[in-house]
Chain A
Amino acid sequence: MKIHEHQAKQLMATRGIPVPMGRVARSVDEAVAAVRPLIEESGNPVVVLKSQIHAGGRGKGTFAEHPDVRGVIVVTDGIEGGPSAAEEKVRELAQQMLGSTLVTVQTGEEGKQVNRLYVEQGVDIERELYLAVLLDRGSSQNIVVASSEGGMEIEKVAVETPERILRVEVDPAIGLAAFQANELAHGLDLQGDAAKNFTRFVKSLSDAATDLDTDLIEINPLVVTKDRQVMALDGKMAFDDNALYRHPDIADMRDETEEDPAELAAKNAGLNYIKLDGTIGCLVNGAGLAMATMDTIKHVGGEPANFLDVGGGATADQVTTAFQIITKDPNVKGIFVNIFGGIMRCDVIATGIVEAVERVGLEVPLVVRLEGTNVDEGKKIIEDSGLKVTNADNLLDGAKKILEAIGQTKGAAR
């Protein structure tokens, strides 16, 4: 689960990890009201207005409705005009940003609507660094990754100047050791107070990753200020969904408006669904087989409309929900059901399909491939139902048949 920058910073602040002062705003008035206290408390006449969406590249992104407005804006009007001038500028910008669609390299062309802004104090930056804590699958441990190239895309740094990326493994039994924090500070060429503040920062961040069950914490940039403070200028956190049960406060931070409605509906029904751009809807049991079904559709020249894993013990109700989700996608021109019943019995799935079609209706061709436990009973249920279903002998055969079926539909439409 992802959370917003302002939530991540709030979590960091409560753990004593330095972040700039800031206030979240859901309306223009709230944004304006945040300005004066921030300027007065920080003593810095600059404020920063940051769009809160679950996607990166906000600083370079622009709004679809206001192509000259970027997703993150440094408001400097307060330097000469004082707080009132800053307030005026923030009002003007917030009016354009709130409710508008921010398009960044990570949102895709359709962009994402901005519903919250984060108003933050200005910071006098001396150096920008990169810091992250994430799982290293090879060593089955968390690692801390640091780089002197703050603000850059870390993948690019890894390819172009791999020597500028430092990494240390965090032993789960002892956490990040003091010497490891020192090694990182040294590797980043930090000295004196800056080094001291950095080691404290990185130790706290590594502990936070463990305590909060994060998948990823990424601070880009981590800044060293002119007065040698080390603070998180940006903050991205993602959490292990399987561990959310022990962090109800974090689970409450979920912003459902950031999620695809169909994917959300599927999740609530206990299904694993990811929307794609193709035309063939897929309903499969098992994640690996679901991926392989998409691959096979592509292999024979089609495009999958989705990934959908109904899991190992789907009920007829879940199958119905799955059908509803698939058929709601206007791009879907045909549906391919691919089930290898192990624990899941084919007759249960077949019953679910028949019920789903009766309840949801079916306007596109349906190809069903059943294999495994009670396969004959399953096939018979579908045959007896009188539904217009094409049976397939195996996965490849099924993929070919759904493509043929779509071709026929197109022909009939002409």
Chain B
Amino acid sequence: MKPLSSARMRHWLGASAILVAAVATALPAQAGSVLDAINQRGKIKVGVGTSPGFFAPDSNGKWQGFFVDFGRALAVTVFNDAAKVDFTSSSPQQRLPALQAGEFDILLSGVTETITRAFKLGFHFGPVIFYDGQGLLVKKSLGVTKGADLDGATIAIQAGTTGELNIADFFRKSGKTFKSVVIEDSREFRNALDSGRVDALTQDSSDLAIQRTQLARPDDYVLLPERLSKEPLAPAIRWGDDRWLEIVNWTVYATIEAEELGITEANIDSFLDTSDPVVKRFLGIDKSLGEAIGLDPKFAYNIIKAVGNYGEIFERNVGKNTKIGFDRGLNQPWSSGGLLYSPPFR
């Protein structure tokens, strides 16, 4: 073998460096479970969106919102510390690949649970935390009352959402036509309606209600009562870590169960001397359940102490007394006519 000249040596070193870098970056995807990674890091990485009420930083830069509170509840379950969680916003387009690539441990960004996402993207979904439906936001002066009136209209859709498919299905079914403008950027999406570029925006109706409050003259616009689709928004995680999935499931169930039992952030300590065995097991006064499942026996107690029950999370962030002002609708316990239902804690 000829001795290497210094120039060739440099090439050789360069190639090796690239190779090592490539292999090294390829490795983490294979290593360990999600939960191991979370424990090692000491923090949960949560992907969220950017809609005030659901997820947005407040004036102090602290994330606030309905979905954010569920992220905090998860941190309580895993670390017993609501602060051990990092929120990062991701556009609807980028969030799914980001979850696949391991950038997040969980998406709490209002992802619609669908069979394609389950099988083809390889996602598990936790319990639905918000039952939504796709709606249409239109200018009042158009005099439109239902989706079918929008024949021939131009409609903006946000890229990367199930809305793109739903609206096409809706118009095909009714034999009507529309022109689509697919926009990735949230602000440009809203501006398209504000400037009159499009006749309507379509998106999950909860999101549209929030977008409406951000328009220059919200009262000029109306969210049509019609719902084009079912949009069950659920936490999404990658396949491959069953225990992480169960932690997500039972963290959400704990908030629902607490509401059903009438336990709130304020009155929870009055339940500590209860004789009800269901409540005793739920709050970890009876420690046998927690020991059996390998979680802190008081995890449900800690969650309610930190963020409150489902109803409190809802009312605080998006409920009647907030700027957003949502009705509970389907999002109340089954016992009051909603769809929230927690399996038993036993």
Q: State yes or no: do A and B come from one complex.
A: no
Give A contacts to B, CB under 8 Å.
none
